[in-house]
Homo-oligomer: A and B are copies of this chain.
Amino acid sequence: MGMATASEAGTNPDRRSLAECPEGDFGLARTIEALLFVADRALSATEIASVTGASEPEVREALGKLTEHYRTRGVILLEHRNAFRLVTAPDLAEHCRRLLGLDQRRQPSRAALETLGIVAYRGRATRAEIERVRGVDSDSALATLLARNLIREAERLDAPGRPAVFTTTDTFLAYFGLTSLDELPELDLGFAPDDSEVGPPND
């Protein structure tokens, strides 16, 4: 039946062990760990102290323990100008780049190029629109293009889910040696130039 795989309904071992953790050093360290994880900037000991309610010396001690803990991990704790943040270990940067499609020399995939082309020729497009044309999920293609700064989010539609509208960037133009989108070859996917009905725009 449906999903009735929960063997221990009601007794969740994870939650219990967490709840049973005394509010000692370990409790503070794991709170700080969570804060550093969600923060979108480096956090100072002062700031952490004010959020956690712990004293600054306690926070510093816990940060020291975390730094030690993370020393050999894939994620490390960095301190810069008295502010702390979690970053990936430097030796793993290549793997991370590969995951994020950040490899500079790599040519965009066909999926990425198709997506890019649709955004460029349409001027702006949502994910749904792109997927309608391509007929396939285009999430990762979009993620790659965003990460490479070839497209950007122009705005969000005032509609359920607030879908993002993508547009090309200056980096896109530079990458293809263009100075404006008008220089894109008239990709006449079937526009007959001499057809009176589809002549040049008269604006």
Contact = CB atoms under 8 A, between A and B. Distances in A.
Interface string A188-200: 0100010010111
Contacts of A120: 3
Contacts of A123: 2-3
Contact of A185 (B10, B121, B161, B187): B10
Interface of A: 1-10, 12-15, 17-22, 24-27, 29-35, 37-41, 43, 47, 51-52, 68-76, 86, 88-92, 95-96, 98-100, 120-123, 139, 143, 146-147, 149, 160-162, 177, 179, 181-187, 189, 193, 196, 198-200
Contacts of A143: 40-41, 160
Given A3-B200, A7-B182, A35-B95, 12 more contacts: A1-B24, A2-B198, A15-B72, A15-B91, A33-B73, A33-B74, A35-B99, A37-B86, A37-B88, A39-B99, A41-B139, A51-B99
Contact of A2 (B13, B35, B71, B199): B199
A70 to B, nearest CB: 8
- This chain: copies in complex: 2
Given A30-B74, A75-B37, A95-B51, A20 B1 contact: no
A177 B34 CA distance: 14
The winner among A5, A96, A198 for most chain B CB atoms within 10 A is A5
Contacts of A72: 15, 17-19, 21, 26, 30
Nearest to A47: B99
A5 B182 contact: yes
